[in-house]
Amino acid sequence: MAHCPDEFAARATGSNCERSDARFLRTTDRGRDAGPSAAPVVRKLTLLRTSGAADGPRVAPAALRMQEATSHDVSRRNSAQALTAECDVRYRRPMHLAFSPAEARVRDAIRAFLVDAMPPSSAIAEDGWIGGFSPEFSRRMGAAGWIGMTWPRAYGGGERSYVERAIVTEECLRAGAPTAAHWTGDRQIGPSLLAHGTEEQKREILPRIVRGELVFCLGMSEPGAGSDLAALKTRAVEDGDAFVVDGQKVWTSLASQADYCYLVARTDPDAPRHHGISELLVDMHLPGITVRPLVDMTGEHHFNEVFFENVRVPRRWLIGEKNRGWFQIASQLDYERAGMERLLSYAPLFRDLEAHLRATGRTRDPLVRQALARFHGELAVGRMFIYRIAWKLSRGIAPTAETALAKLYGTELEQRLARFAAEMLGDESLLTTGGGRLATRTARALLNAPGLTIRGGTVEILRNIVAQRGLGLPRE
């Protein structure tokens, strides 16, 4: 659309757009300066609205309000103009597709760091952000300033941009770096505490995440609550200065190594199911917590069942508002789904596979050449999705539909990549051991692949989000 290059923001009528919209209004209420470009945009919006048929293009609520403010209330012109200017700044400023010199310096620096700090290549795990657990490596990342990059300096962060952070995660994934020990804390616990935590929680936890000292697990899924997370039954009952937690979580990655569990629990069983939920940060060493390992079909263990029996969690570890947890989870999930790890978990496999195909002359086969070219193209598109999300985050725009789209696109692509590697290797791709590094990588990737489109939200759920929040289609 001419007035707004962000197709989702322009079409959506759901909460994603409303959230960015709310921020527009708040900012505008404070600001009174309208830029010179304000008037033409208002005219375009008016045109769109009056000429649009029922099934014609829809305009974001912020834009509609902007137009209404100018046509119905002359006294509010200044505020409408400021709103327009804000819309201009957020949506019309072009995205730069090349790295700035500063961003290129970050890329070079993280590459140099990885050359120095990486373990031997034989030790590189596929899916290194879950499978590569190395507290020593995470501490080195922390000491070098690669964790908490976007956070305020007051809490140990680097006050860098989201794009710079995306560059660092991209390089780590390409190298197969063992980042699992700090990944969850850096990706979503830190941002969640920054948004909803108390000052005490921020001061106590954030600097330790930045130093690569803390491991977190995510206690969301339960035996009867996965996609339908609001069906969760784990309870946290307030008792004096503590919440007493009882219940069970499942598929909890890294629970056996974690220092803290980010726990989602029901704090008001009588409230409508989305309303009585709260978030707690639970010290995994508290009495009453039992962790049982679950071995997945790769033969490895990162999953666990976690049982809570009468666990007293001090009240000061409530994150944000009691019973408002559901509304805090949404932005957490954006961070969980938005990253390069949803595209590049198999980057080391792809690199090894391509080198093998070149070295063995298989790239002379036109079908192999076409497949390789296609994967390179698709990976480039996926990369753009993720940098676009980083760019939106740096402008304070909630990217819920985009993160869902990026995750479902990236993880389905990774599954195709694992299948292609298996086709290229034939029987060897079944050898988890004894077949050489490429065979091991391929076999592990094949076994691991079904989980990619389940963890962090299944593809069906993500398609629903894109349909409803991105395209404004009716709920199923």
Residue numbers annotated as active site: 336
CA distance 42 to 69: 10
Q: Which residue, 371 or 461, has its beta carbon nearer to ligand FAD?
A: 461
Q: How far is the CB of 450 from ligand FAD (least distance, A)?
A: 8
Q: Which residue, 45 or 452, has its beta carbon nearer to ligand FAD?
A: 452
Q: How far is the CB of 448 from ligand FAD (least distance, A)?
A: 8
Using rule CB under 6 A, residue 458 touches ligand FAD? yes
Q: How far is the CB of 430 from ligand FAD (least distance, A)?
A: 21
Q: Which stretch binds ligand FAD (CB under 6 A): 88-96, 154-162, 230-238, 453-461?
A: 453-461
Q: Which stretch binds ligand FAD (CB under 6 A): 67-75, 196-204, 418-426, 451-459?
A: 451-459
Query: What end-to-end distance do the CA atoms of the chain give, in Å?
Result: 27
Q: How does strand 260-266 pair with strand 216-219?
A: parallel
Q: How far is the CB of 264 from ligand FAD (least distance, A)?
A: 8
Site for ligand FAD in 181-240 (CB under 6 A): 217-218, 220-221, 226-227
Q: Which residue, 293 or 396, has its beta carbon nearer to ligand FAD?
A: 293
Using rule CB under 6 A, residue 460 touches ligand FAD? yes
| Number of amino acids touching ligand FAD (CB under 6 A) | 17
CA distances to 138, 215, 240 from 141, in Å: 5, 14, 40
Instruction: Give the count of alpha carbons within 13 A of 127, CB side only.
Output: 23
Non-local CB neighbours of 327 within 8 Å, separated by 6+ positions: none
Nearest to 108 by CA among 151, 171, 175, 183: 171
Q: Which of 267, 451, 468, 469 binds ligand FAD (CB under 6 A)?
A: 451
CA angle 347, 139, 457 (to 5 degrees): 45
Query: In angstroms, what is the C-alpha Rg of the chain?
Result: 24
Q: Which of 394, 464, 467, 473 binds ligand FAD (CB under 6 A)?
A: 464
Report the residue closest to ligand FAD, judged by CB.
226
Q: Which residue, 173 or 217, has its beta carbon nearer to ligand FAD?
A: 217
Q: Which stretch binds ligand FAD (CB under 6 A): 158-166, 246-254, 310-318, 344-352?
A: 246-254
Q: Which residue, 45 or 465, has its beta carbon nearer to ligand FAD?
A: 465
Do 354 and 371 contact (CB within 8 A), yes or no? no
CA distances to 9, 103, 399, 470 from 60, in Å: 6, 32, 14, 11
CA distance 188 to 175: 22
Q: How far is the CB of 337 from ligand FAD (least distance, A)?
A: 11
Non-local CB neighbours of 388 within 8 Å, separated by 6+ positions: 95, 402
Q: Which of 425, 455, 465, 469 binds ligand FAD (CB under 6 A)?
A: 455
Side chain identity, residue 210:
V
Q: Which residue, 226 or 435, has its beta carbon nearer to ligand FAD?
A: 226
Q: Which of 253, 267, 411, 440 binds ligand FAD (CB under 6 A)?
A: 253
Q: Which residue, 388 or 407, has its beta carbon nearer to ligand FAD?
A: 407
Q: Which of 8, 113, 251, 308 binds ligand FAD (CB under 6 A)?
A: 251
Phi, psi angles (nearest 5°) of residue 445? -65, -40
Nearest to 168 by CA among 191, 145, 184, 189: 145
In DSSP terms, 316 is beta-bridged to: none
Q: Which of 70, 188, 252, 332 binds ligand FAD (CB under 6 A)?
A: 252
For the CA atoms of 9, 12, 14, 16, the dihedral, rounded to the nearest 10 degrees, stands at: -20
For the CA atoms of 309, 310, 316, 320, the dihedral, rounded to the nearest 10 degrees, stands at: 60
The residues that touch ligand FAD, with contacts defined as CB under 6 A, are 217-218, 220-221, 226-227, 251-253, 451, 454-455, 457-458, 460-461, 464
